C-alpha cells in the first residue's frame, strides 16, 4: 500500500467553543469522581487522616483547657484541625499527583488527550476538596460534640462563604505545586517535607496567627489557608478571635491570591510541560 500525497489543509472543522467547554467540564468531573470514589471505597484513610489528626487536635484542646484558657481557644483548635485536613490534602495528595501519575506510567495517557491540562488539575482539586470535606466534617463535628466547642451558627453563612473562597485559593496553590512536582518530583517532595512543620506553625492552625508578631504573621498571611482561618475565626468570634488581618481586607486578598495562583498554575504547568517535552522527562519508557 502506498502512502498518499503530503499534508494539506485538514478537512475536519475545528470543534466549537461549546464542544470544547463540554469536553473539558466532562474531564473535570470525571477526574474529580476518581477521588471521590477512592475515598469511599478505600476507607483506611479514616484512621490516618481523621483519627490521628483528631488526637493531635484533642491534645491542643486539653492543653488550653489545662491552662484555663478561654473556651474560644478550644474553638480555634477545632477549626484549625478541620482546615489542616485540606492543607494536608493539597500538600501530599494534590501536589504529588502528577508526579505519581508519571511514576505509574500513566501521565502520558492524560497528556495525549485533547483536554486542557488545567481541566485535569481542576478535577483533581475538586475531587480533593470533596473527599477532604468528609474528613474535615468528621473532625469539626467530632471536636464540637466531644469538647462542647461553641460554634455560632447565626454567622455560619458568611463564614462558609469565606471558607469556600479560602478553599479555592488553597487548591489553586496546590495546582502550582502539582506542576512543580511534575518535573522536580523528589526534590520538590523533600522541600515540602522540609517546610511541613514550619508551615504548620506559621499557619496558626492551633492558635491565633497574631501571636507570631507582625513580620512572621505577615509572611504567614501569604498562605491563603492562614488568611482564611484568621478571617473565619473573626467572623465567628469577633474581637475575641484576636484577628491579625482586618476582616474587610481578607476576601479581596483571597480573590487576588486565587487569581494570581491560577495564573501561576497555568504558567507553571505550561512551562513544566514544555521543559518536560524538551528534556524527555514526561514519560518513563526508553527509546
Residues near other proteins (CB under 8 A) are 1-11, 14-15, 19, 22-23, 26-27, 29-31, 33-34, 37-38, 41-42, 105-106, 108-115, 277-280, 282-283, 285-287
* Closest approach of other proteins to the CB of residue 37, in Å: 6
Pick between residue 80 and residue 123 the one whose CB is nearest to other proteins. Answer: 123
Cα separation of 132 and 37, whole Å?
12
* Closest approach of other proteins to the CB of residue 282, in Å: 6
**CB atoms inside a 10 Å sphere around CB 218:** 13
* Closest approach of other proteins to the CB of residue 98, in Å: 14
17 CB contacts (<8 Å, ≥6 apart)?
none
Pick between residue 125 and residue 241 the one whose CB is nearest to other proteins. Answer: 125
Residues 237/222, Cβ–Cβ less than 8 Å: no
Grid coordinates given for 212? 507570631
Cα separation of 97 and 268, whole Å?
15
Pick between residue 18 and residue 215 the one whose CB is nearest to other proteins. Answer: 18
61 CB contacts (<8 Å, ≥6 apart)?
74, 77, 78, 143, 147, 149
Cα separation of 44 and 33, whole Å?
18
* Closest approach of other proteins to the CB of residue 32, in Å: 11
Pick between residue 144 and residue 283 the one whose CB is nearest to other proteins. Answer: 283
Amino acid at each position: 500500500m502506498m502512502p498518499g500525497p503530503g499534508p494539506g489543509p485538514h478537512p475536519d472543522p475545528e470543534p466549537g467553543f461549546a464542544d470544547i467547554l463540554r469536553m473539558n467540564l466532562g474531564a473535570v468531573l470525571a477526574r474529580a469522581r476518581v477521588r471521590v470514589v477512592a475515598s469511599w471505597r478505600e476507607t483506611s484513610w479514616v484512621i490516618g487522616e481523621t483519627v490521628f489528626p483528631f488526637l493531635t487536635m484533642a491534645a491542643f484542646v486539653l492543653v488550653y483547657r489545662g491552662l484555663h484558657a478561654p473556651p474560644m481557644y478550644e474553638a480555634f483548635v477545632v477549626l484549625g484541625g478541620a482546615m489542616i485536613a485540606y492543607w494536608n490534602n493539597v500538600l501530599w495528595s494534590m501536589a504529588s499527583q502528577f508526579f505519581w501519575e508519571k511514576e505509574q506510567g500513566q501521565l502520558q495517557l492524560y497528556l495525549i488527550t485533547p483536554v486542557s491540562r488545567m481541566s485535569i488539575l481542576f478535577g483533581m482539586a475538586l475531587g480533593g476538596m470533596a473527599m477532604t470535606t468528609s474528613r474535615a466534617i468528621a473532625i469539626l463535628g467530632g471536636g464540637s460534640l466531644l469538647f462542647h466547642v461553641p460554634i455560632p451558627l447565626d454567622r455560619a453563612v458568611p463564614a462558609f462563604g469565606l471558607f469556600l473562597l479560602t478553599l479555592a485559593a488553597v487548591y489553586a496553590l496546590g495546582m502550582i505545586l502539582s506542576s512543580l512536582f511534575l518535573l522536580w518530583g523528589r526534590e520538590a517532595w523533600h522541600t515540602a517535607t522540609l517546610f511541613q512543620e514550619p508551615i504548620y506553625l506559621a499557619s496558626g492552625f492551633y492558635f491565633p496567627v497574631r501571636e507570631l508578631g507582625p513580620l512572621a504573621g505577615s509572611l504567614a498571611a501569604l498562605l491563603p489557608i492562614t488568611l482564611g482561618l484568621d478571617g473565619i475565626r473573626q467572623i465567628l468570634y469577633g474581637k475575641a478571635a484576636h484577628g491579625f488581618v482586618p476582616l474587610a481586607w481578607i476576601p479581596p486578598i483571597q480573590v487576588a491570591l486565587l487569581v494570581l495562583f491560577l495564573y501561576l498554575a497555568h504558567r507553571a504547568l505550561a512551562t513544566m510541560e514544555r521543559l518536560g517535552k524538551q528534556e524527555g522527562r514526561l514519560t518513563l519508557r526508553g527509546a
